[in-house]
């Protein structure tokens, strides 16, 4: 009998909220929290993922994909030669933060783990705010990949790919996190990966806006003022 879930957990705000969401959903059933080192310049987020996995009493599986840097190029997230863009998340410059096929790669590995552990779900935290920039965060991608996972594992256990926030905004996620009592200090968003959040890169701007729109106090320490 399939139980529990495999949850993609980057250590960021969205995936941490989805981790708490899933823990509430499955109760005491087992969860594997899977994180990836894909050569991201902000790999300190993985430390936050480890903290959350421990807090939620799940196994933390860390997968080393850092070797894809030599194959998948052109992203500010993985190349020190490309400056991390600042400003609003929906701006054209945010396309510089795309890592081609990242979600396909990560979700495929997570699905394999779910099949081997007989988990009922693979859960990710993509949301509506991602749709304009990241093609692998759109509802049609999630639906098609869910079908591919089903077909590709037929007869061996077919975990459902679940994206509970795919039609919700980042502010909605902030509200859900507040309901769940998520400790925001255990999350990391900044793409620059400095000592504290820069406050200017796209994901910092998005984080700040989410708290503001949700009417929730933002406890995050930022280096700079909000860029609009």
User: What are the residue boundaries of the structural domains of the chain, listed by start?
Assistant: 5-83+99-184
Taking the C-alpha atoms of residue 82 and residue 122, their distance in angstroms, rounded to an integer, is 32
Q: Check: CB of residue 45 under 8 Å from CB of residue 188.
A: yes
Residue with tokens 């503001």: 212
pLDDT band at 228 (very low <50, low <70, confident <90, very high): very low
Highest mean pLDDT among 10-24, 38-52, 84-98, 185-199: 10-24
pLDDT 10s digits, 74-116: 555 555 655 555 666 565 665 655 666 788 889 999 999 999 9
Residue with tokens 């037929």: 154
Buried b (16+ CB within 10 A) or exposed e, 51-80: bbbeebebebbeeebeebeeebeebbbbee
**What average pLDDT does range 180-194 have in this prediction?**
94
For the domain made up of 5-83+99-184, give the CATH fold. Rossmann fold (3.40.50)
Strands 31-37 and 5-8: parallel
pLDDT at 97: 55
pLDDT 10s digits, 160-174: 999 999 999 999 999
Taking the C-alpha atoms of residue 143 and residue 112, their distance in angstroms, rounded to an integer, is 17
Least confident of 32-36, 99-103, 118-122: 99-103
pLDDT 10s digits, 136-148: 889 999 999 999 9
SS3 string, 36-82, reads EECCCCCCCHHHHHHHHHHHCCCEEEEEECHHHHHCCCCCCCCCCCC
Q: Check: CB of residue 77 under 8 Å from CB of residue 97.
A: yes
Taking the C-alpha atoms of residue 189 and residue 184, their distance in angstroms, rounded to an integer, is 10
pLDDT > 90 in the chain, percent? 66
**What average pLDDT does range 114-129 have in this prediction?**
95
Strand partners, 162: 123
Q: Check: CB of residue 36 under 8 Å from CB of residue 49.
A: no
């Amino acid at each position: 009998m399939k139980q529990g879930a495999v949850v993609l957990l980057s250590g960021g705000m969205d995936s941490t909220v989805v981790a708490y969401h899933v823990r509430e959903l499955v109760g005491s059933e087992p969860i594997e929290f899977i994180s990836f080192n894909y050569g991201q310049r902000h790999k300190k987020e993985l430390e936050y993922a480890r903290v959350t996995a421990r807090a939620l009493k799940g196994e933390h599986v860390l997968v080393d994909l850092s070797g894809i840097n030599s194959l998948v190029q052109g992203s500010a997230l993985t190349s020190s030669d490309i400056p991390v863009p600042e400003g609003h998340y929906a701006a054209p410059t945010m396309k510089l933060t795309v890592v081609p096929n990242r979600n396909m790669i990560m979700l495929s590995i997570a699905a394999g783990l779910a099949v081997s552990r007989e988990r009922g779900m693979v859960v990710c935290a993509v949301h509506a705010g991602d749709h304009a920039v990241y093609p692998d965060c759109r509802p049609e991608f999630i639906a098609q990949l869910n079908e591919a996972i089903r077909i590709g594992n037929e007869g061996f256990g077919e975990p459902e790919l679940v994206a509970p926030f795919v039609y919700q905004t980042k502010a909605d996620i902030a509200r859900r996190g507040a309901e769940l009592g998520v400790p925001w200090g255990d999350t990391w968003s900044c793409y620059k990966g400095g000592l504290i959040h820069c406050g200017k890169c796209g994901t910092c701007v998005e984080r700040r806006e989410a708290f503001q729109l949700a009417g929730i106090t933002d406890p995050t320490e930022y280096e700079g003022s909000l860029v609009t």
